[in-house]
Chains A and B, each alone.
Chain A
Amino acid sequence: MATVDLKLKKVNKVYREGELVTGVVVVQSKGELQHQAYSTDKLYIRNSKAWKVTLGSLLSKDLQKQCEFIVEYKDQEEHSKPKPVQFTITPDTLTNVKEKQNIPKFKVKGKLDSSNMCINKPLTGELVVESCASPIKSIEIQLVRVETCGCAEGYAKDATEIQNIQIADGNVVRGVAIPIYMIFPRLFTCPTLSTNNFKVEFEINIVLVFQDDHLVTENFPIKLTRF
């Protein structure tokens, strides 16, 4: 459990308007840190603390102000270990497709340099369209956040697309390695978190959009770490 203490220099002083309240913020963390920096509309979980500043005002009424703040901490956690992922996408690798004959023949090979990633480093890799019967319109990488809440009734799982980056535009050259490169958005990502009844996980989708707007998606779970 981490605590955040505000230590004011002069505690009993009556502050006037325009005066600077000086002091220090002490963040103490004992054991595993559970609150990670991310925000979402779905789950109102914040790392922010409501801190109460009791102003010994004449009205002797407490004023409250909520404020969001982000904590980055020093190198303590385990470092991400590179774990390359090779992948091949063909019509056969697709699941949940009803009419396979409608899918044009294609073969896309590629790799992600690692599925364990440091949140500060970009996602890298490459992808080769070896063959494709119908023209490609676009190739995109989606970053998806999956939040899972467990409670008595069961799980509530919610996936949100947080970033979509186009890596290929138009009918690309076959057999050429197209780079996969994505910087994780700072405000929408956090290290992968898994507890008993709450999980924040991330996934990468590689999306192939064909000229006729049909699309093929391949999903890769990734693990983000702070370092």
Chain B
Amino acid sequence: MANYEWFPRQRNYQLERSKENLPAEIASNHPLKGIGVVELKHAEKRGTSNKASTPVNKNASSGDPLSTSSKSSFVDPLSASMGVSLDGSDPLSQMAAESEALAKKTRSLSLKENTGNDLLDETFEPWSAKKAGILTKYTTSEKLSITTSFLSAQDKEKAVIKAQTTATVTDKVKNRLEQLDDFEEGSVQKMLNLSQQDYVKRIDELNQALINAWEHDQRVKALKIAIQVGKLVYDRLKEKAQYYPPGSGVPVKLPDNFTPDQVPDSAKETCRNWFFKIASIRELIPRFYVEAALLKSYSFLKTGEYEEALQRLCIMTRGIGDPLVAVYCRCYLSRVGILVSPRTTGHLMPCFEDFLVSYTQLQTDSVQNILAMQKLEMPNALLLNSIISAFKPEYIAVRSMQFIEMIKECEDTGFPKHLLHRTLGLCLVMASPPEDQKLTVLNEVWKAVMKLKNPVDYIGCAEVWIEYVVMHFGKREVNTILADIIKHMTPDRAFEDFYPQLQSVVIKILSHIHDFSVLFALKEAVRVEVCKSIMEAFIKYQSEVTNDPVIINALMFICKTMHDSVNALTLEDEKKLISNLISGFINKISFGRDFEQQLSFYVECRSSFSNLDIVLVQLIQNVNNLSIETRKVVKGNHSRKTGNFVRACAAYCFITIPSLQSILTQLQLYLMSGQVALLNQCCSQVCLILYDMYFSITADAFFKAAISVIPDVPRNVELEGKTRSSEPLLTEYLYNFISTLLVVPDNPDSGVLYLLRGLLNILQNYNWEPNSDAKILIYTRVLAMLSASCQEKYIYHVDKVDSNDSMYGSDPKFINEVNSICSTLLDEILNHLKTLAQSENFRRQGILALELFNTIICHSDLEKQQLFNLATNLWGLAQKHGQIDVKQMVSIIKLIE
């Protein structure tokens, strides 16, 4: 095939660009306006719902020390009773529900307002919040059993209900008696081996039965069920439903906050009747529970009844022998009390005192026997621990010395002392002991902690106490403690097991000492892990850049430690993590406008972290950034000084890049740094030409270096854990590279298009993958670039840098030179196309032909017959085998038209 000559088309980029623009139309209204309004509404809605939910959250989060104790030590089976639905048909139940809601409302209101005369202090934690926690915490795989007589009573109910329709008084009495009989006859059934879920289900059924019974006017049955259920220690939830009873006597709705005067006598009588009935329940525990459950109904009788009743019920619990059952009762009472009358607290302290008294019961034989059977020990320490963890930290803190004494005296059996110390520590972290005791407390505790041999115990304590130390003392104490920790952790490399704890130690220190200068005065065990957490914390907390020399120095030290820990065996991820941390650190350091110092900092970093590619890349990026910043500051007009500085930056990059391991990264960075250097060449007109030349060389140098590195690009690269051919990457890179070359002015010392020639040479000899068209594709791009370089005015420029267009001014010599290169390339391409004539390569051939066709159409002068013919041939070639995407073809045709 004859040699084709290339004739680039003359293009007026501005004209073309203006043609590409779509006709503009003035927009009269904002298309997003309507949507904006809708969104606003949404936002408002969300806002209100948030508001509503805040008090709840508050409740949930606030930890009442007393109630936490109940969480940790008592399981109240009553919890399930919370699920009782109050949607009964009679008005009173609704009323009860309403007033309950009202009470809740007032409570949340008071919580919101936080006024002094709150019904409850804000630390009050509602039962509902506890319940879920308890149910999830205490699960049992044991089998439970219920003994009742009415589980199978469903069939009997029907008959009774039928009889109920005739509602004369005598019939009613008769019915009730019948009901009684039914129960007496009803065989007592035992349900054994129930799982927890089954059990809860069963309880719910009973609950439902109770409600049903009530709704069907079978009052006696309801009470019977209640009593029956009450007999079962575990079934106490039933009583909740008994809120209904006296309501039947109230004919009309009462206002929500009615007074006893408003209640008609008949209702009072009914109510009193209920209480009389309850009072005659023989067994203590059922009586207690039923009455407690009905407590609310006292409001029908007279005001102020609650207090009395609560106190009576409270001392009633003294009669309960089983300490656990008694505690349940007291818990329930406290709960009910707070529900019906939040202001009444008189019963709470006696309750608690009684509980303390019952503690001695634990020493009795029977309990000890049970404990022995369950292989538990019940030393005083357990109680102490509960007290410390449950009481208000302020309270504990004030008496911290006493507690320490008590801890000392505890015999160290069963409940380990270090847990006590730990709990105490947690307390003291939340509230400070009196000023004068702080040190004594620490000394006493630490004396004990120091003696702990087991590293697990030790670190558990240390972890908690370090926070105390950090909060209240200076660096000397912190140092001492840390030294002690190190001493304990070093033997047998124990620290290896306790990284999380050590980290938490450091994190705790960090969370309190935000002044990093103090922090770094600490002489600590510079374990890499610890360093890491320091760095993490630093990056997290240091939201602003800093230039404090102390911090920098210390962090440099830490970073160096991390860096030095990297060796051949280090995992890739580990390396990455460390690199990222260091990069984060570097990014945080800024000297403001003192660019020189910044650069010298980067220089220092480079020398320190030379093993970590990522860090080096970061450094190069930062230096490039720096020179761009400089350019911005001088607004593109470099003075001699800034020019020098920018050059120094470029030099920095130039020196640093070759030390990177990844060739591809090197290439990318070369390109980028080259571009930056080009950009900074702006001083050419203003500054001395000599500098300019030097500069140009530097930019050239980058590109030269890039070109020289290309042959070293490995065939395959590891990318995201997979081996991939580097070719696509390289191709992409080269496309970019070539477009950059367009604006790079030729070095007067070298020949025309010196860099491009070099690149082409390298490409020619590069070890391409077999059966690859990458080279040809690149050639087509080079063709395009060359055509562009023949234009009178280039399509893009670097600000204040003269590219070849102004340097050569479309000198025919230059154009000829370019054209000759083009022709050579064209030859190359066509030859290559020919080699693809085999059938299996048709597709590739087609693609390449089309690619070339495109280039010719766009960039060459089609008025030259020769090129036109070539284009036609290529079109034919591309179509010949019909393996090219038709759509693409069609769009190309459209383009031509």
Contact = CB atoms under 8 A, between A and B. Distances in A.
Interface of A: 122, 135-136, 139-140, 163-173, 175-179, 181-183, 185-186
B361 A166 contact: no
Given A165-B280, A166-B282, A183-B279, A173 B318 contact: yes
Interface stretch (B48-56, B320-328, B805-813): B320-328
B315 interface: yes
Given A135-B366, A179-B312, A166 B318 contact: no
B360 interface: yes
B319 A185 contact: no
17 contacts: A140-B282, A165-B287, A166-B282, A166-B283, A167-B319, A168-B319, A169-B283, A169-B321, A171-B364, A173-B318, A173-B360, A176-B354, A177-B315, A178-B315, A179-B315, A179-B318, A179-B319
Nearest to B311: A179
A166 B321 CA distance: 12
Interface string B315-351: 1101111100100000000000000000000000000
A168 B321 contact: yes
Given A135-B366, A168-B319, A181-B312, A173 B284 contact: no
A168 B282 contact: no
Contacts of A171: 321-322, 361, 364, 366
A178 B318 contact: yes
Given A167-B284, A168-B321, A182 B366 contact: no
Contact of A185 (B276, B315, B354, B361): B276
A163 B280 CA distance: 7
B280 A139 contact: no
The 7 closest A-B pairs by CB, nearest first: A170-B321, A168-B319, A183-B279, A166-B284, A171-B321, A169-B284, A178-B319
B584 to A, nearest CB: 63
Nearest to A137: B321
A175 B361 CA distance: 11
Nearest to A186: B276
A144 B165 CA distance: 39
Interface of B: 275-276, 279-280, 282-285, 287, 312, 315-316, 318-322, 325, 354, 357-358, 360-361, 364, 366
Contacts of A170: 320-322, 325
A106 to B, nearest CB: 15
B284 A172 contact: no
Nearest to A143: B280
B285 A169 contact: yes
Contacts of A182: 279
Contacts of A169: 283-285, 319-322, 325
A122 B280 CA distance: 12
A172 B366 CA distance: 12
A48 B279 CA distance: 27
B265 to A, nearest CB: 14
A186 B280 CA distance: 10
Contacts of B354: 176
Given A164-B282, A169-B285, A182-B279, A177 B319 contact: no
B316 A179 contact: yes
A190 B354 CA distance: 36
Nearest to A180: B319
Contacts, number: 75
Contact of A183 (B276, B284, B320, B361): B276
Given A176-B357, A181-B312, A136 B280 contact: no
Given A173-B358, A176-B354, A183 B280 contact: yes
Nearest to A182: B279
Contacts of B276: 183, 185-186
A168 B366 contact: no
Contacts of B284: 166-169
B72 to A, nearest CB: 23
B320 A168 contact: yes
Given A165-B280, A173-B358, A186-B276, 10 more contacts: A166-B282, A167-B316, A167-B319, A168-B319, A169-B283, A169-B325, A170-B325, A171-B366, A172-B320, A179-B319
A172 B279 contact: no
B318 A177 contact: yes
Given A167-B319, A168-B321, A178-B318, A173 B282 contact: no
A180 to B, nearest CB: 9
Contacts of B322: 169-171
Contact of A173 (B287, B316, B361, B366): B361
A179 B316 CA distance: 6
A140 B319 CA distance: 10
A135 B276 CA distance: 31
A165 to B, nearest CB: 6
Contact of B321 (A136, A163, A177, A183): A136
A185 B280 CA distance: 7
A171 B354 CA distance: 15
Contacts of A186: 276
A173 B280 CA distance: 24
B354 to A, nearest CB: 7
B301 to A, nearest CB: 14
Contacts of A172: 318-321
Contacts of A179: 312, 315-316, 318-319
Nearest to B288: A169
A224 B316 CA distance: 24
A177 B353 CA distance: 12
A140 B283 CA distance: 9
Contacts of B316: 167, 179, 181
Contacts of B279: 122, 165, 182-183
A176 B280 CA distance: 24
Contacts of B283: 166, 169
A178 B364 CA distance: 19
Contacts of A176: 318, 354, 357
A172 B285 CA distance: 13
A104 B283 CA distance: 25
Max chain A Cβ within 10 angstroms of own Cβ: one of B279, B318, B360, B361: B318
Nearest to A179: B315
B280 to A, nearest CB: 6
Contacts of B320: 168-170, 172
B451 to A, nearest CB: 38
Contacts of A181: 312, 316
A178 B354 CA distance: 11
A169 B285 CA distance: 8
Contacts of B358: 173
A139 B358 CA distance: 17
A163 B282 CA distance: 8
Nearest to A183: B279
A139 B674 CA distance: 99
Nearest to A171: B321
A27 B316 CA distance: 42
A163 to B, nearest CB: 6
A170 B233 CA distance: 13
Contacts of A163: 280
A95 B364 CA distance: 31
A176 B317 CA distance: 11
A53 B360 CA distance: 69
A167 B318 CA distance: 9
B231 to A, nearest CB: 11
Nearest to A128: B318
Contacts of B357: 173, 175-176
A135 to B, nearest CB: 6
A88 to B, nearest CB: 19
A178 to B, nearest CB: 5
B573 to A, nearest CB: 62
Nearest to A177: B318
Contacts of B280: 163, 165, 183, 185
Contacts of A139: 319
A166 B316 CA distance: 10
A163 B73 CA distance: 37
Contacts of A183: 275-276, 279-280
A182 B279 CA distance: 7
